[in-house]
Amino acid sequence: MKTKLTLSNLADVQTECLAVVVLDHNTDKSKDAKPQPQVAAEKTVADAVTEILATGDVAAKPMETTLIHAPRGLKAKRLLLVGGGKEAKFNADELRKIGGTAARFVKSKNLKSFAIAVPERKVNPEVAVQALVEGAFIGDFDPNYYQSDRKDQSLNEVTVVGGPKADQKALQAALEIGRIVGESQNFTRDLVNEPGNKMTPTIMGERAKKMCAEMGLQCEVYGKEKLMELKMGSFWSVSQGSAEPPALIVMRYEPAGAPAEPVLGLVGKGITFDTGGISIKPADGMEKMKYDMAGGAAMIGAMRAIAQLKPNVRVIGIVCAAENMPSGTAQKPGDVQFAMNGKAIEIINTDAEGRLVLADGLCYARQLGCTHLVDAATLTGACVVALGMVNAGIFASDDDFYSRFHAAQKSAGEKFWRLPLDDEYRDMIKSGIADIVNSGGRWGGAVTAAKFLQEFVEDKPWIHLDIAGVAWMEENKPWIAKGPSGIAVRTLVELARSFAKN
């Protein structure tokens, strides 16, 4: 999808459809308060919608859409009103959803292009432009790849309209950031959306390598021999039951002139299909386990965006890709495996495999010189029980690093909620035969999984993202299709840029 910026009066914009934001300006919080909708746009647009707003048919509820044909006084063929909710609560996060809602609405009308207005006041114009463009790309993604009667409803172009007095250079830069991040989030969603037979560890490595070649990143993809050389027994144990070989994907962004430190390490779980292994999962819903590589896909997508935005900081992305399958060669409950750092792990449950591949990935990131570590994984159902499908879980070993991540998260508009890492939870993963067990049992499952990973980061500032509940949208939303969400890409990109700003 092409993106354009134009600075002009909205009345002069020639387009198939012009989308504008409508906000409820009523500050009365009582139950019976009637909405007071107003368009966040210039007087010409306000005049064009006076009559329909007066009818009470438009309430400005979040993502409510109203289409007006041949709007009076405008050159646009259609005017789309998109609700933004209460004016007092409106922010860039809502604006990103509005961009997606507008894109999906326009697509449903078989239109190929539209324009969307930067709302007057309320949100910083540069932030607004980036959010609108990101939202439009998110809304343009559809997951029905293999339907024989699939109709191409993808958009050709979106135009963002700023006022005639806006700073064109600043807004153009914001538009480019939005485009790069939006495309990269969709790149991640594309990887996650592929079924297990179309996204094996080998194919995942090939896709990462191709992306890196296109974006100017260094990339190496290793197989079983490298795992054996590095003594990655924990990683290898997950893949040993599958006919598909594992892939250790290493992506490097090392700009000339970047300081020696910090080096940001992004480590992703890349289980391209998860049956649970010998501790096999129930059949119901197992088809969705193709998404168990969403953490690894997020790291590939983030590296894609970082390569284009060019922050002055070194970043290394590591994805540990494998299939977790039951067979005569698969590991068994009760087995003991040795991780790269020499720790002995008693396997209690072969379905607790994500932490096994991440353990060696985190060790390797440290060996490569990473000073700050972030891992992302669809790791535990326990995190979904705790937080539902709204927030991802975040665990942090260092408060300063967490504060930096939290600021990046707020800027990116993604939802994470911090969970504890108290020392008492360490007792729950002690083993009677080895150093630790790979499953601490039912209680506090998301925390004990994080405590397991903490055994492999040593003293490095570290953040663990458990994205199990939010990496897959269970239903269509006005701004995003059912399917992969691409969670964490935007925040990871902002995190890398924050290091460069310092």
| Whole-number Å distance between alpha carbons of 46 and 32 | 25
Task: List % helix, strand, coil for the chain (3-state, nearest 5).
Answer: 40, 20, 40
Beta bridge partners of 159: 4, 115
The pLDDT, as a whole number, for residue 122 is 76
Query: Which residue reads 């490097």 in tokens?
Result: 252
| Whole-number Å distance between alpha carbons of 235 and 256 | 33
Looking at the chain, the number of H-run helices and the number of E-run strands are: 14, 20
3-state secondary structure of 355: helix
The answer to whether residues 271 and 333 touch, using CB atoms and an 8 Å cutoff, is no
What's this model's pTM, rounded to 2 decimal places?
0.97
* pLDDT tens digits, 391-432: 999 999 999 999 999 999 999 999 999 999 999 999 999 999
41-54: burial string, b at 16+ Cβ within 10 Å, e else: bbeebeebbeebbe
| Whole-number Å distance between alpha carbons of 37 and 23 | 5
Q: What is the DSSP letter of 99?
A: H
The answer to whether residues 339 and 236 touch, using CB atoms and an 8 Å cutoff, is no
| Whole-number Å distance between alpha carbons of 117 and 7 | 10
Residue of 2, 46, 47 whose CA lies nearest to 160: 2
pLDDT tens-digit profile, the chain (502 residues): 999 999 999 999 999 999 999 999 988 877 778 899 999 999 999 999 999 999 999 999 999 999 999 999 999 999 999 999 999 999 999 999 999 999 999 999 999 999 999 998 779 999 999 999 999 999 999 999 899 988 778 999 999 999 898 999 999 999 999 999 999 999 999 999 999 999 999 999 999 999 999 999 999 999 999 999 999 999 999 999 999 999 999 999 999 999 999 999 999 999 999 999 999 999 999 999 999 999 999 999 999 999 999 999 999 999 999 999 999 999 999 999 999 999 999 999 999 999 999 999 999 999 999 999 999 999 999 999 999 999 999 999 999 999 999 999 999 999 999 999 999 999 999 999 999 999 999 999 999 999 999 999 999 999 999 999 999 999 999 999 999 999 999 999 999 999 998 6
Q: Which residues are catalytic?
A: 281, 355
Provide the CATH topology of domain 185-501: Aminopeptidase (3.40.630)
* pLDDT tens digits, 124-161: 999 999 999 999 999 999 999 899 988 778 999 999 99
296-307: burial string, b at 16+ Cβ within 10 Å, e else: bbbbbbbbbbbb
Backbone angles phi and psi of 212, in degrees to 5: -65, -40
66-95: burial string, b at 16+ Cβ within 10 Å, e else: bebeebeebebebbbbbbbbbbeebbbbbb
The pLDDT, as a whole number, for residue 228 is 98
Tokens of 48: 């064009």
The answer to whether residues 460 and 370 touch, using CB atoms and an 8 Å cutoff, is yes
Beta bridge partners of 158: 3, 114
Judge if 2-162 and 185-501 fold alike in CATH terms.
no
Q: Which CATH class is domain 2-162?
A: alpha beta
What one-letter code names the amino acid at 84? G
| Whole-number Å distance between alpha carbons of 412 and 93 | 8
The pLDDT, as a whole number, for residue 502 is 66
Query: 337: how many CB neighbours lie within 10 A of its CB?
Result: 23
The answer to whether residues 181 and 134 touch, using CB atoms and an 8 Å cutoff, is yes
CA dihedral 274, 277, 282, 285 (to 10 degrees): 10
3-state secondary structure of 150: coil
| Whole-number Å distance between alpha carbons of 323 and 274 | 6
Backbone angles phi and psi of 182, in degrees to 5: -65, -45
The answer to whether residues 435 and 466 touch, using CB atoms and an 8 Å cutoff, is no
| Whole-number Å distance between alpha carbons of 352 and 438 | 6
Q: What is the DSSP letter of 474?
A: S
Q: C-alpha angle 105/111/117, rounded to 5°?
A: 60
**How far, in Å, are 22, 88, 289, 425, 426 from residue 50 at the CA level?**
12, 22, 50, 60, 63
| Whole-number Å distance between alpha carbons of 65 and 262 | 46
| Whole-number Å distance between alpha carbons of 66 and 56 | 12
| Whole-number Å distance between alpha carbons of 298 and 479 | 20
Instruction: Return the domain boundaries, the chain.
Output: 2-162, 185-501
Residue of 44, 360, 341, 392 whose CA lies nearest to 224: 360
